Amino acid sequence: MEAVARLNNVPTSPRKMRLVADLVRGKRVGLALSILKFTPNHGAIRLEKLLLSAVANWQAKNPDAKLEEADLYIKTVTVDEGRSLKRLRPAPQGRGHRIRKRSNHVTLIVDSFDDVDVTAEVVETNEKAN
């Protein structure tokens, strides 16, 4: 059973957030949390909190299942472009240069390997082979 967590209007450019999201896509939750904890990018802090929220949502959906035995992994992470704030910066000779302050929306889906025919060990060996 999968659980979804969404984070809207994050004041980071989508390009920078996708760099962090690519690090944890398809990984186990424990490994992903440790990767995000030691990643120096600013988006890693927000993605770590979002992952913890997705795990909490999964626990709320499955109150009888134990988290340690669930073998959770990150099924999908999508980073979409959000609203852009448009500002003007003064430039020489009375001109103005446009500044776009970008934002993004992140959607994270966590699932357990029990629902899938593939085990986590098979996925990890495939990741190491690639």
pLDDT values of the chain reduced to their tens digit, one per residue, 130 residues: 899 999 999 999 999 999 999 999 999 999 999 999 999 999 999 999 999 999 999 999 999 988 888 889 999 999 999 999 999 999 999 999 999 999 999 999 999 987 555 555 666 666 666 5
pTM: 0.83
Domain boundaries, the chain: 2-128
Which DSSP symbol is given to 28? Answer: B
Q: Which residues pair with 28 in a beta bridge?
A: 73
Superfamily of domain 2-128: Ribosomal protein L22/L17 (3.90.470.10)
Nearest-5° Cα angle at 76, 70 to 82: 135
Phi, psi of 111 (to 5 degrees): -140, 160
Phi, psi of 48 (to 5 degrees): -65, -45
